[in-house]
Chain A
Amino acid sequence: MTSQLPRMLRYGIPMVVTAALIGGADAMTRGAANQLTGLLLLACLAMAWNLVSGFAGQFSLGHSIFVGVGGYATAVLLDYLELPLILVVLAAGVVSALVGVILAYPMLRLRGPYFAIGTLGIALAVRGWMLNWDVTRASRGYPIPPESLLDIATLLRVAALLALITLVTALAIKESSLGLRLIALRDNEDGAASVGVRRVRSVVPTWAISAMLTGMLGAVIALQNGNLTPNSAFSIQYTLDAVVVCVIGGLGTLSGPLLGAVIVFVLRQYTADFAGWASLLEAVVVILVVRFFPDGAVGVIVRVRGLIRSRLRSRDAGAPREKAGRA
């Protein structure tokens, strides 16, 4: 039904691109590196969120928890230990995954809007707690030791690597049996149950993986900003960004978050001087997209390609029209 790129290319192209970015990090201007880093981190956030909210169909409004946990884990670890960068980011991811698992069992009993509101409630409760928790200096800022902060080129490399890891993970999930089970659950839960697909067994690992990736993202952001407060690290803005990017790009698809990240990032370059209007504009676009293009930019591209193809085919008389389907 669908012809697919050979596996080598599917994984290979992103790897080549990442290698190019890593190699070229020093060659480009610091300004360009900084911009690219921002784009890559936004894409990571969206792709990780998409695993739960798109693939698994559980609209999470609580992912800001993982960004914050990852960030604070990084700050605390570096405060007491001297660890190489990779270990710190990984450790932050693991802590975040653990938090995800703890939250999973209570949260994943909820569905749809309950899940959305439940996760939002937990996100705000966690932030409220962190504002009081003296272990992490409560509402006072938690600094990251200056010598651990990353310079612009290194940040780009780390962001590119993280983006690659996130993308490859998403690819792997989608192509594995886990991916199939998630789609089955999302589209028809009762039907899926009748063939033995257990919800908890499928959604919890996805949630944990998403939490880990988001936690690693939080670690990188912390290493970029150098100082954390509960309001900045657990900001709802991260949730907002994930929603906007994925909806505009195409929720639940593989390349949607990536495409959405590029679109939103470019859009923000033009609205940078009008921050208040930027939020408004993005939200209006989200509403329009949900209303008229529910599959996002990816859906638009697919439809356009389908139209072009059927035009081409009908020019060769007699050739059967291929139905445009959703992969």
Chain B
Amino acid sequence: MNRNRMLALPVAVAIALGATACTGTSSGGSDDPIVIGSTLPLTGPLQAFGTSLQTGYQHAVDEVNAAGGLEIDGQKRQVELVVQDNASAGDTASEQARDLVLDKGAVALLGPATPPLSIPVSVAADQLKVPTVITITPIQAWKGGAPDGWKYSFDLFFDEIQMTDTQFQAADLVATNKKVALFTDQEEDGIVMGGLWADKAPTFGYQIVAHEQFPVGNTNFTSQVAEAKSSGAQVVIAQVIPPDGVALLREMKAQGYQPEVVFLEKAGDTGGYAGISDGLADGTLAANWFAAGIGTDREQEFIDAYSADAGGVNADLGTIVYGYSAAQVLLEAISAAGSLDADAIRDAIAKTDGDYPAGAIDFDDEHAAPLPAVQTQWVGNDQVLVLDGSGDAANPITAPVPGLG
């Protein structure tokens, strides 16, 4: 009996597999659809972003197809959106980005959400020279992923530098003792934003009296909340993932800590968060990218079409809008280029300058299009606009935070 001979067997199988492994359609034929790929977090902690982006992307693709498709080299071709689920994992996103281009024949990519996913996809896109449009990814964090700048990837979303102003601008609209307690997690954006808030507070006349840091996935906030409460801060700014946000709110309620305003960033941008937290998040604020009254192109159309799906006018709806806009930018660029040449499409994207449902999109030299962050407050299942994109008050803020009362 010869087990060692069996080595030849799997190796031979591997070769055979490899040779026939190419399961993708090569996008050479003129009747084949144009494939746009997207690796999205359809499951996992970022699921809400992934599914909303998919809805937005698909909406744009369907619209283009209904109008006859895109004209490439003189011929109209339909567009096909191919989506894969990366389960919110960065290395899976990398792998799938490569698969989509090499196997499924994608000529362009639409991005996932958040830096841990978007950066790996951008890396793959630049390596494979495939134009990619990304959203729901703060711009500074995204730029930080490419020391020499991105070559084929583009990002349209808010810039943290402007976004970290909005908390103070909104807090100005309410009477507080100007003392701030910060709660930031140790993910990339927690550290970046924590630093920005700490730097900016004095310029707005605020004082950081407590800065609590904790690992992502922390559920025990006993000592941190006790510290924040005893510091007397009436303004709380937190950058947490949804589960940690719930734990934080619970602990605050248990210790009877009810600030005037609580900014629950990142967690608060999950649709239905008020429900998930069983009402504890009612009245918390969060920076947002879309809300009723924001005044962008086709605002009401999207609200009517999707607020039922999103469970309200909230961040999920905003993500659908941004996803649609990103796809629209990409599709228009392909159309403008009139060919599937990567450089031509890339150059066309770079020239984008117009009004979209997400706002006015104009890419700078580093391929980033900053869109203004606004502040919204959770009222039931909606996130109501309280501070608009220019830093002016919109609807009045309810204070102190009702959910913690």
Contacts and interface: CB of A to CB of B under 8 A. Distances in A.
A and B touch in the complex (CB under 8 A): yes
Interface of A: 2-5, 10, 13-14, 17, 20-21, 28-36, 38-40, 43, 128, 131-132, 138-141, 143, 145-146, 149, 151-152, 167, 221, 224-227, 229, 231-232, 235, 237, 253-255, 258-259, 261-262, 265-266, 269, 272-273, 275-276, 298, 301-302, 305-306, 309, 322, 324-325, 327
B91 interface: yes
Contact of A226 (B19, B124, B148, B215): B124
Contacts of A276: 43, 85, 87
Given A140-B191, A227-B120, A262-B10, A5 B5 contact: yes
30 contacts: A4-B2, A17-B12, A31-B102, A32-B20, A32-B21, A33-B18, A34-B98, A39-B18, A40-B14, A131-B216, A132-B186, A139-B191, A140-B188, A140-B192, A141-B144, A143-B145, A145-B147, A146-B146, A152-B102, A225-B90, A225-B94, A226-B120, A226-B123, A232-B91, A237-B89, A253-B3, A276-B43, A276-B85, A309-B1, A325-B1
Interface string B215-230: 1100000000000000
Interface in B89-118: 89-92, 94-95, 98-99, 102-103, 115-116
Given A139-B191, A152-B102, A327-B1, A227 B123 contact: yes
B145 A3 contact: no
Contacts of B308: none
Interface of B: 1-15, 17-24, 42-43, 84-87, 89-92, 94-95, 98-99, 102-103, 115-116, 119-120, 123-124, 126-127, 144-148, 186-188, 190-192, 215-216
Contacts of B20: 32
A303 to B, nearest CB: 11
A47 to B, nearest CB: 11
A10 B127 CA distance: 38
> Which 9 residue pairs across A and B have the least CB separation, nearest first?
A226-B123, A36-B18, A35-B21, A232-B90, A31-B102, A31-B22, A225-B94, A31-B103, A259-B10
Contact of B14 (A4, A227, A262): A262
B21 A143 contact: no
Contacts of B98: 34
A128 B185 CA distance: 12
Q: Say what secondary structure dominates the interface of chain B.
A: helix
A309 B1 CA distance: 9
A36 B98 CA distance: 13
B18 A35 contact: yes
A31 B12 CA distance: 19
Contacts of B190: 139
A133 to B, nearest CB: 11
Contacts of A145: 147
Nearest to A38: B95
A254 B102 contact: no
B79 to A, nearest CB: 20
Contacts of A128: 215
B90 A229 contact: yes
Nearest to B18: A36
A232 B117 CA distance: 10
Contacts of A14: 7, 11
A231 B116 contact: yes
A31 B21 contact: yes
A32 B190 CA distance: 40
Given A35-B21, A254-B4, A262-B17, A229 B215 contact: no
B4 A5 contact: yes
Given A232-B116, A258-B10, 14 more contacts: A13-B11, A31-B24, A33-B18, A35-B18, A43-B14, A128-B215, A139-B188, A146-B146, A225-B90, A227-B123, A232-B90, A235-B91, A255-B9, A258-B7
A224 B18 contact: no
Contacts of A302: 1, 3
A29 B11 CA distance: 19
Contacts of A229: 90, 116, 188
B33 to A, nearest CB: 18
A141 B188 contact: yes
A225 B20 CA distance: 25
B90 A275 contact: no
A2 B2 contact: yes
Nearest to B102: A31
A175 B84 CA distance: 44
A28 B147 contact: no
Given A4-B2, A226-B127, A253-B3, A272 B84 contact: yes
Contacts of A146: 126-127, 146, 148
Contacts of B17: 35-36, 39, 262, 265-266
A13 B21 contact: no
Nearest to A237: B89
Nearest to B97: A225
A151 B23 CA distance: 20
A144 to B, nearest CB: 8
A152 B115 CA distance: 24
Contacts of A265: 17
